[in-house]
């Protein structure tokens, strides 16, 4: 298996996913409204014109209430489409009916924007990027799912000289003391959980 940050991350991912997989749809639903409420109070989101977000699936902390609230505020909401090489293209969120269920290989079904594709660079126009994750630590280091899609997004932002606020959405138990990090990992600026917000800048 090897040692080092990579195998430590794999083990941690399994642990966090195990806990998430034990959540019922009711558990997830209960936290969705609270998560949206906390996120909408974020100063970074108060002034955002464009937000790159994502549609939660399965037992991920629910994002749909937040997407609708942002849209109601007149925010341009970008959602990802997974490309065959695990990179992300982007499309606009125009309400529930603008989403299509897409199955990627043997993996879970994702809800993706059905409209026009804006290209991978579209994310560089965002004032805030909401990131999925499994945990974040006291320094703001995020543990992702390991697919590498968001590592590419963060690289793309850096190359473009874009500096959006990076915010990860998690459950309360997923804010931990420390997660293993690799050289390419970048800290996020804030975490939103159903019970509150924490900034790392």
In angstroms, rounded to a whole number, what is the distance separating the alpha carbons of residues 80 and 53? Answer: 7
- DSSP-derived secondary structure letter, 187: B
3-state secondary structure of 175: strand
Q: pLDDT tens track of the chain, all 201 residues?
A: 456 767 889 999 999 999 999 999 999 998 999 999 999 999 999 889 999 999 998 899 999 999 999 999 999 999 999 999 999 999 999 998 999 999 887 767 899 999 999 999 999 999 999 999 999 999 999 999 888 899 999 999 999 999 999 999 999 999 999 999 888 888 999 999 999 999 996
Q: Is 2 annotated as a binding residue?
A: no
pLDDT, residue 183, reads 83
pLDDT, residue 184, reads 80
The alpha-helical segments, DSSP class H, found in 41-139 are 43-46, 64-72
Q: Is 106 annotated as a binding residue?
A: no
Q: Considering only CA atoms, which of 133, 123, 127 is closest in space to residue 191?
A: 133
Q: Is 81 annotated as a binding residue?
A: no
pLDDT, residue 109, reads 83
Q: Is 37 annotated as a binding residue?
A: no
Q: Considering only CA atoms, which of 62, 70, 3 is closest in space to residue 29?
A: 62
Pair of tokens at residue 108: 């879970």
In angstroms, rounded to a whole number, what is the distance separating the alpha carbons of residues 154 and 113? Answer: 21
Q: Is 192 annotated as a binding residue?
A: no
Q: Is 146 annotated as a binding residue?
A: yes
Q: Is 11 annotated as a binding residue?
A: yes
pLDDT, residue 107, reads 67
CB 188 within 8 A of CB 153: no
pLDDT, residue 167, reads 98
Q: Is 145 annotated as a binding residue?
A: yes
Q: Is 186 annotated as a binding residue?
A: no
Whether domain 5-199 has CATH 1.20.1250.20: no
The alpha-helical segments, DSSP class H, found in the chain are 5-21, 25-40, 43-46, 64-72, 149-160
In angstroms, rounded to a whole number, what is the distance separating the alpha carbons of residues 104 and 5? Answer: 28
Q: Is 107 annotated as a binding residue?
A: no
Q: Is 108 annotated as a binding residue?
A: no
pLDDT, residue 6, reads 79
Q: Is 93 annotated as a binding residue?
A: no
């Amino acid at each position: 298996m090897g040692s080092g940050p990579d195998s430590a991350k794999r083990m941690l991912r399994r642990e966090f996913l195990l806990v998430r997989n034990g959540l019922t749809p009711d558990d997830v639903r209960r936290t969705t409204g609270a998560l949206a409420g906390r996120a909408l109070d974020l100063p970074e989101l108060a002034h955002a014109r464009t937000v790159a977000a994502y549609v939660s699936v399965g037992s991920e902390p629910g994002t749909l209430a937040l997407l609708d609230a942002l849209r109601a505020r007149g925010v341009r909401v970008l959602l990802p489409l997974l490309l065959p090489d695990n990179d992300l293209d982007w499309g606009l969120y125009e309400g529930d009916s603008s989403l299509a269920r897409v199955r990627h290989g043997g993996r879970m079904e994702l809800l993706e924007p059905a409209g026009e594709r804006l290209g991978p660079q579209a994310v560089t126009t965002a004032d805030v990027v909401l990131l999925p994750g499994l945990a974040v630590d006291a320094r703001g280091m995020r543990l992702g799912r390991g697919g590498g899609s968001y590592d590419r997004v963060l690289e793309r932002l850096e190359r473009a000289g874009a500096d959006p606020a990076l915010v990860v959405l998690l459950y309360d138990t997923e804010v931990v003391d420390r997660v293993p990090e690799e050289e390419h990992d970048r800290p996020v600026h804030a975490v939103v959980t159903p019970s509150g917000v924490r900034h790392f800048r």
